[in-house]
Amino acid sequence: MTRPALRVFLPRLSMESPMRLIAFVVAASALTLSACSQGGEAPAASGEPPAAAPILSGVDLSKPVSLIGTEPFWGIQLTGGELVYSGVDRPEQRAPLPPAVIQGTVATFQTRSASGTVFDVTLTSTECSDGMSDRTFPLTALVKVGDETLMGCAASSEALARAGESGPVV
């Protein structure tokens, strides 16, 4: 902007009063910057990194996971904050599902049903075969239901639904 144009917009400011001119420019710059940033500000960071999803052998444990076993036939669904246990000639039992405790290649869950049955679930990052099909699972499951110990395999419920009767469940 040339000086004559500047004098049109700022008739009271003259080159003899440089402090007024500097104050005006600073104020105008601040207003311009604040107008540009309104509405598009990101929320302040909490300083904590986002929590990482609990993943074991490629299985996201924060999403539904299916555990299955044979002899005796049993199944557990870990889903939506709940453990659902069922089996042949066994009543279905439900228990709240706490977050997994992961140590290296092992994840554990401990909970109790409303009827008092204790469930200790241990998932290990080792390939597993259920012994009845030609499928291989990414996790081995050890489950204690009260005084009974059950062995089986586990995978994400989504992967199990997609899997056929043979090959890896991924």
- What's the pLDDT score for residue 153? 97
Mean pLDDT value across residues 148-153: 96
The per-residue pLDDT for range 108-141, each reduced to its tens digit, is: 999 999 999 999 999 999 999 988 888 999 999 9
H or E segment to which residue 139 belongs:
strand 139-145
Question: Which pLDDT score, from 0 to 100, does residue 48 have?
Answer: 64
Beta strands 166-168 and 134-137, pairing class: parallel
Q: Are 126 and 150 in contact (CB under 8 A)?
A: no
The verdict on pTM exceeding 0.75 is: no
Contact status, residue 76 vs residue 66, Cβ threshold 8 Å? yes
- Per-residue confidence (pLDDT) for residue 45, from 0 to 100: 56
**pLDDT tens digits, residue range 6-52?**
444 444 444 444 444 444 444 444 434 344 444 444 444 566 666 67
Instruction: Residue 60: count other Cβ atoms within 10 Å of its Cβ.
Output: 13
